[in-house]
Structure 1
Amino acid sequence: MEITQGLLRAVQQGPDAPATVFMGRTRTWAESAERIARLAGALRGLGVRPGDRAAILSANSDIYHEFMFAACWIGAAFVPVNTRWSVAEIAFSLEDAGTAVLLVDENFASAVPDLRKQAPVLNHVLVDGDDSGPDGAPSVEELIAGSEPVADVRHGDDALAAIFYTGGTTGVPKGVMLSHDNLIVSALGSMASGHWIQPGATYLHTAPMFHAADISGWVAVNLVGGTHVFAPRFDAGAVARMIEEHRITDAILVPTMIQMLVDSPEAAHADMSSLQRLLYGGSPISEALIERTTARLPGTRLTQAYAMTEMSPVITLLGPEEHHDPLLRRSGGRAAPHVEMRIVDEDDNDLPPGATGQIVARGGGRMLGYWNRPKETAEALANGWMHTGDAGYLDDDGYLFVVDRVKDMIISGGENVYSTEVENALATHSGVGMCAVIGVPDQRWGERVHAVVLPAGGVRATEEELRRHVRERIAGYKVPRSFEFVESMPLSGAGKILKRELRDRHWNHQERHVS
C-alpha cells in the first residue's frame, strides 16, 4: 500500500467532507488533494526526486499534512524535525539525511541563516505563509499557486516513506527509516484492536507531529477519510475548547498532558462528551489521575500504548476495560494485533512467564533500519527481531510488565532523552570531573533528567552554571532538572559508573522502576 492511498480513497468517497481544520480554516478532501498535487509539482520543480528526503520544521498545521503527502506523492521521504532541538541538532539531522529541501514555519524562519551555514546540504528552504522568507526563500502558497499538479507516482510497500530522528546512545541522533507498509500496518493494527480511530473520526493533533505516535494517528485518519484538527501546540485550555468546538473523537496525549487538561479551569466548563478514545503512552498513569480523568471525561475510553519509533510505533496496547484492573493497569498491555513479542535472555533464548529479560518484537511495523548505520541496524534487528533495549516480563496471559531499561534512556513528559547526549554536553564543563545522568521519579513528568556530578579538582560549579552550559549545546528538554553533587562515584571493576546503584536510591520505593 501507499501512504497516498487513503487520500485518493477519501477524494473518491467523500470529496466535500472536511479533511483539515486549522486556525479557522477548513479544507475538504478534494481541496486538500489539489493543493498536495500542486505542492508535489513544486517540489519536483526544485529537483526533488523519488528516494530524496524533504524535511519539515514546523508546529502542527494543515501545511504539515499537505507537505508530508506531497513528498510521498512524488516518491520522496519526509523527515519531520524535532522542533525542540537546538540549531546544531537540527542541522546534524538535515546533513545526516542528505536533506536538500526544508520547509519552515514562522516560528523557525529566523533560524534559517544558521541552518544554511551548519547544513550546507540544504539547496532550498521554503516558508509556510503567503510571503517570502529569509534570503528570498519562497512561500508555500506562492509555490502552490504557481505550479501545475503532477500525478501520484504511487510509490509504496517497502519503499522509504519517512525518517524520524531519535536520540542515540553514542550521543548523536540516528534516523529511523520507516516504509509505507510500516506506517500503514501499525496504524491498521492499532485500529483493529477497536480502541483507536474508526470511520467518522475527528482527530486532534495536539501531540507534536514530529513524533511517530502522532503520525500514526495521521495515517489512521487518512485511511478512514476522517477529519484532522490541528493544534499548533499543547495548551490545556485551548485543547478543551477545541474538543468542544470541533467535536473531537480521538486524541493522543502523554499523562502529563492529560493531567493538565483535566485539571484546567476550561475543562470544567467545556463540553468534551464527544471524545470517545484517548490514547496515552510514554509513562504510566497514576490511579489518582485515572480517577480524575474518568470523572471529567466519563464517556472517554482510555488506552495505553507501549511504543517506540522503530516499531512505527505501537508494540502493545492496554485497552479501556483492562484499566479497571489495578494489577493490569501497571502493565503495558498485550501485543497489538499486528505485533509478535517475546522476552529473551542475552542469547535471544525465550524466557518463561514471570522471568525478566529483554523485550523484542517484530511485525509489519518493524523499521527498515537506521539511516546510514548498518552496524547499529544489525545489532537492533538481530535475528529479525527489534531489540527494544527495555527489560520486562510477561505474565501467563501475555501482559507485558516493563521493569527497567537495558539502554540508557529517560522518558520525560513523553520525550526520549539519552543519558549519553546529556553527559557529553555536561562533561565539557571544566568544573565537572565525572558525571552520570539518570532518570528519577517525577510526579508531573513521569521521570525527570537528574545529573550526578563529581566536581573536578575540588571546583564546584553551581547548578545554574551547569544548566546554562548544557542548554547551549543540546535541546532544553534534555537539560537536567535536578543535580546531585557527590564526593565519589560507584564504579565497577572495569571503572564504569554503576548507574543502577545511583537509580536505586530514587526508585526503590516505587511500584514501577521505569516510566
Structure 2
Amino acid sequence: MYQTQALHRARQQYGNRVAVRFAGRECTFGELAERVARLAGALQQLGMEEGDRIAMLSLNSDRYLEFQMAVPWGGGVLNPCNIRWSAAELLYALDDSGSTMLLVDDAFAELGAQLRRDAQTVRELIYCGDGAVPDGMRSYEALVAAAAPVADKYRRGEDLAGIFYTGGTTGFPKGVMLSHTNLGVAALTACATGLARPGAVYLHAAPMFHIADIGLAGPHWIEGNTHVILPSFEPGAVLEAIARYGVTHTVLVPTMIQHLVEHIERMPHYDVTTLETVAYGAAPVASALLARAQAAFPGTRFVQIYGMTEAGPVSIETGGAAGLAPEGATGRPCYCVEVKIVDARGEEVPRNTPGEVALCGPNVMQGYWNKPEQTAAVLRDGWYFTGDGAYMDDDGFLHVIDRLKDMIITGGENVYSAEVENAIASHPDVTAAAVIAVPDARWGEAVHAVVVAAPGASVSADDIIAHCKARIAGYKCPRSVEFVDALPVSGAGKVLKVRLRERHWKDRSRSVA
C-alpha cells in the first residue's frame, strides 16, 4: 500500500474530473497530479532526501492537499503541525521530528519566521499563501512553476508515511508514527464501512493537519471524489458550501455539530439536502444534541467513529457495516480491527464488564517517535492499549465509558465523566459541559462540572445539580459547578481537561494529564 496510489488511479480513471475546489480555484485530477509531481521535484531540489520530515503549518487549502501527496511522492515523511499550538509546542515538534523544511501560509508567516530562526533542523521556509512572499521565504507557486515533474518514489508498506503529534489532551505531545499500510488500511476500512461512495463530494471543514480529516478523506481519494476545502470551520461557510457544491460527506467534532445546528436553527433557509453522511468523533455527542442535529438535517446519517491517532483513526463505527447500534453504544469493530476489553493485568474480561480497550490490526501505529519507553507501555504483544474505559455487550457492541484518566473515584465509587456530561448536556440552557475530579477531604475526589450556559440563559449551579439528580445516581452528580464562557479545546475539538484540572490539583499527588 502507498498513499499516492489513489492519485495515480484518479489521474488515469478520472483525469478530467474536478479534484479540488478552494477559494474560487479548482483543478482536475490530471492537473493535481502534475502539480504534485512538480512540488515533489521542487522539494527534492531543495534537498529533501528519502525519509526526510517535511512540516506544514497552515489553515486548510488546496495547497495543503498537494503537500499531503507531494511529500510521499518525493520520498519524504509528513509532519502536519497543529495550528492551535503555542510557538514552544510547535518548536518541540519540529525539533523532535528533525523536520528539514516548513511550509507556512499567510496566517502563520510571522510565526513561521520565528520558528525557522529557533528550530534546530529546519533549513527551508516555504510560503504557500496568496500574498506577497515575505523576505527570507521561498514562493510555493514559483517552486512548482520552475520544477520539472519527477517520478514517484513509491514509498509503501511499512515505510513511514507521517509523524502525527498528539493533541496534548493527555500530557506532553508524542509523535505517532504511521506507515503507508496504517493509513491505507484505515482508508479501505472507511470505504468498506460506507463512509464514502463513488461520485461523492467531501468537505474539508475540520483541520487538515489532524488525523481525523486525513483518515476520513482517505476513502474519497480512493473513490476519486471531489474535495471541497474551507480554510477553517465556520458554520455559515459550511452550510453555504454544502448548498453550492452539493457536498455529500464530511467529518466534524461534536462542538462543530453544535455550532452548525445552532446556526441552521436560526437561519433555516440553507439547502442541505445533498448532505448524506456526517462522521463525528473525538468525543461523544450528547443524545439531546444528536436529536437536534437529526431534526436540522433530516436526510443526513450521523455516524459515530471511535479511534485515535495511534490507530489510524477509524476502529469502531456505528451505522454502515456495524448495523443499528443500541442507544449509548459506540459501535462495532471495523473490518481489519480486533478489539478486546482487558483488566489491569491485560487479561480479557467477560462481556458487560468494564475494562480498558485494546486494539490489534494493521491500522495500529509503529510507535512513538523517539520514545521507546512510552511505546512499550502501550504496545504489547501486538496490541495497542488505548487508556479508554469501556465494556462490550452481548451483541459485540462497544460502549466507551470514559478515558481511564478522566474517571473520578469518589468515596470508593467509580464515576465516568462522560455519563455526567451527557446528563448535564440534556439541560436546555446548557451549551457545553466538562466534568473533572477535584480534591475532596472527605471523599478523596469529588465530581466538579465546568459548564457553558446557552446565550441569554439564566441557569444556576443548583439547577444543574437538580437536573442531574433526576437522571443519574446521586453519587455521580456534581458537588460543585462553575460557569465559563468557553471550554479549552485542542485543534481537533477535544476538551483539554488537563487545563481544567491544573489549578485544582496543583502541588497534589494526582496527575492532571
Q: Same fold by TM (over 0.5)?
A: yes
* Structure 2 unpaired stretches of 5+: 409-416, 441-483
Residue from 392, 395, 398 that aligns with 1:394: 392
C-alpha distance 321-126 of structure 1, shift in aligned 2 (>3 A): closer
Q: Does 1:361 align with 2:359?
A: yes
C-alpha distance 321-294 of structure 1, shift in aligned 2 (>3 A): farther
Hey, what does 2:206 align to over in structure 1?
Answer: 207
Hey, what does 1:376 align to over in structure 2?
Answer: 374
TM-score for both structures, normalised by structure 2:
0.81
C-alpha distance 8-349 of structure 1, shift in aligned 2 (>3 A): same
The answer as to whether partners of 1:450 and 1:481 remain within 8 angstroms in 2 is no
Give the Å deviation of 1:113: 2.9
The answer as to whether partners of 1:51 and 1:76 remain within 8 angstroms in 2 is yes
* CA–CA distance in structure 1, aligned partners of residues 165 and 435 of structure 2: 20
C-alpha distance 445-186 of structure 1, shift in aligned 2 (>3 A): farther
Give the Å deviation of 1:168: 5.3
Give the Å deviation of 1:281: 1.1
Give the Å deviation of 1:171: 4.0
TM-score for both structures, normalised by structure 1:
0.80
Q: Does 1:385 align with 2:383?
A: yes
Comparing 77-86 and 395-404, the one that deviates more: 395-404
* CA–CA distance in structure 2, aligned partners of residues 3 and 261 of structure 1: 32
The answer as to whether partners of 1:253 and 1:281 remain within 8 angstroms in 2 is yes
C-alpha distance 480-336 of structure 1, shift in aligned 2 (>3 A): closer
Hey, what does 1:291 align to over in structure 2?
Answer: 291
Hey, what does 1:260 align to over in structure 2?
Answer: 259
Indicate the RMSD between aligned Cα atoms, in angstroms.
3.1
Residue from 343, 346, 351 that aligns with 1:345: 343
Hey, what does 2:510 align to over in structure 1?
Answer: 497
Q: Deviations over 1:290-310 (max 9, x none)?
A: 222222211111110111000
The answer as to whether partners of 1:359 and 1:390 remain within 8 angstroms in 2 is yes
Hey, what does 2:52 align to over in structure 1?
Answer: 52
Give the Å deviation of 1:318: 1.1
Q: Name the SS of the counterpart of 1:109 in structure 2.
A: helix
Number of residue equivalences: 448
Give the Å deviation of 1:220: 1.4
* CA–CA distance in structure 2, aligned partners of residues 50 and 155 of structure 1: 9
1:256 partner letter: T
Hey, what does 1:434 align to over in structure 2?
Answer: none
Hey, what does 2:113 align to over in structure 1?
Answer: 113
Q: Deviations over 1:127-182 (max 9, x none)?
A: 11355644320111010011111110111111111111014588421100001110
Give the Å deviation of 1:490: 12
Q: Name the SS of the counterpart of 2:106 in structure 1.
A: coil
* CA–CA distance in structure 1, aligned partners of residues 58 and 435 of structure 2: 26
Q: Name the SS of the counterpart of 1:220 in structure 2.
A: helix
Hey, what does 2:226 align to over in structure 1?
Answer: 227
Q: Name the SS of the counterpart of 1:329 in structure 2.
A: coil
Q: Name the SS of the counterpart of 1:264 in structure 2.
A: helix
* CA–CA distance in structure 2, aligned partners of residues 204 and 245 of structure 1: 12
Give the Å deviation of 1:354: 1.0
C-alpha distance 37-409 of structure 1, shift in aligned 2 (>3 A): farther
C-alpha distance 207-484 of structure 1, shift in aligned 2 (>3 A): closer
* CA–CA distance in structure 1, aligned partners of residues 512 and 232 of structure 2: 35
Give the Å deviation of 1:226: 0.3
The answer as to whether partners of 2:208 and 2:214 remain within 8 angstroms in 1 is yes
Equivalences for residues 13-412 of structure 1 within 5 A: 13-129=13-129, 133-167=133-167, 171-194=171-194, 196-265=195-264, 268-319=268-319, 328-407=326-405
* CA–CA distance in structure 2, aligned partners of residues 485 and 106 of structure 1: 35
